[in-house]
Amino acid sequence: MFEVPSYEVITSFVTGVFIGTCMSYGFRNIRPLLSGSLTSLTTNTKLVLVVRNDLKMGKGKIAAQCSHASVECYKASVQFKPQIAQLWKMTGQKKVVVGIESGEKGLNELSKIAKSHKVLSAIIYDAGATQIKAGTPTVIGIGPDNSTIIDQITGHLKLV
């Protein structure tokens, strides 16, 4: 017979353990997604943040309001659409920021359209600590959900 050097045995063993661990980890993260309807899942998901341009908020204020909307949308998604939330989280958490000219009325209209498409949304109302009067709606987050559906709701809006 032939003799196998010990370093080759160790290398093969470590490689096998590494590959097995990676496969197990990947399966654990994908398995929850497969428990629902496969036709409803897509890797093309996103969250759209719609900012009111009429308020003339500063860049920092816009960033803060969009952050609030992102958190609220993700929390709602985890609760009401956990498969989409997990998929969005695993595929890079795509976010797009667009502006709207029609003020509060525009945000409310987008909220109604999102609801009609069964897409989660969250309107953010300012606390009034800095630039904007308390209770003013500033941003609406739409999603995360299938990008094609979200584009039907927000595709006409321009990037900020």
Stated pTM of the model:
0.75
pLDDT in tens, 61-116: 999 999 999 999 999 999 999 999 999 999 999 999 999 999 999 999 999 999 99
Instruction: Give CA–CA dist 31/28, Å, rounded.
Output: 5
Residues 56 and 133 in one domain: yes
Residues 76 and 94 in one domain: yes
User: 19 is in which domain, residue-wise?
Assistant: 1-35
Which of these, 140, 143, 137, lies nearest to 119 by C-alpha position?
Answer: 143
Residues 31 and 43 in one domain: no
The pLDDT assigned to 70 comes to: 98
**Would the pLDDT of 1 be above 90?**
no
The pLDDT assigned to 67 comes to: 97
Dihedral angle over CA of 39, 122, 93, 101, nearest 10:
110
Residues 103 and 115 in one domain: yes
Residues 29 and 104 in one domain: no
Number of domains in the chain: 2
pLDDT band, very low/low/confident/very high, at 43 (cuts 50, 70, 90): confident
